[in-house]
Amino acid sequence: MIRKIVITLLRVFLLITFRIKKVGQKNIENKGAYIVCANHRSNWDPPILVSSIKRVSYIMAKEELFKNDFIKWMAKKCCVFPVKRGKMDIESMKFALKVLNDEQILVIFPEGTRNGMEKNGKAQNGTAFMALKTGVPVIPVGIQGILKPFHKVTLNFGKPLDFSEYKTNKPDKELLDKVSKEIMDNIIMLTNEKI
């Protein structure tokens, strides 16, 4: 009950604060597991994206955010769970896999940090690993616009990417890199697409 109230208030706040336009949202069906991935340029990205998905969505966030008690409380109410960056976080991965096995939506930012691609960073392979291990489709999203209050923000949802033909419990690095690149290529395309 508290979660619904918090999410509703968050949606109202974001709708007032940003002019959010959603394109291709129908690519996420009303049931079934999905991994939703987007580019990451601002701290506003996660709440805008999660509040724009009609279904309950779980989101990975850096562990450091949970040091603030209020943010920690809000995060738990909004289905946000911590992940340790820079190394394999087994507990976080287990929880993420449980979300997908329960036919829920998992939201991840593959860059691993804000403006990761602009900093010549490499996309993290965690998204590819979960897609290959579960066979769950990936929905790429391009977040466009100026991520400042009272500016227009567009969420460009792409069609599901199906990697189920490569499903395996132990994907090798070559396959992980290939799938990660395809996911990021789609995110970049959707981010740059004129709508």
**Can you give the residue ranges of every domain in the chain?**
2-192
What global pTM score does this model have? Answer: 0.89
Q: Between residues 161 and 88, which one has the greater pLDDT?
A: 161
Query: Could you give the count of Cα atoms lying within 13 Å of 112 in the half-sphere of its Cβ?
Result: 16
Q: What are phi and psi of 72, to 5 degrees?
A: -60, -45
Comparing 82 with 168, which gets the higher pLDDT?
A: 168
Query: Which of 37-41, 51-55, 76-80, 161-165 has the least mean pLDDT?
Result: 76-80
**Quick one: pLDDT at residue 114?**
57
User: SS3 of 147, please?
Assistant: coil
Confidence of residue 39 (pLDDT cuts 50, 70, 90): very high
Torsion of CA 33, 39, 44, 47, to 10 degrees: 0
Just give the CATH number of 2-192: 3.40.1130.10
pLDDT in the model for residue 35: 98
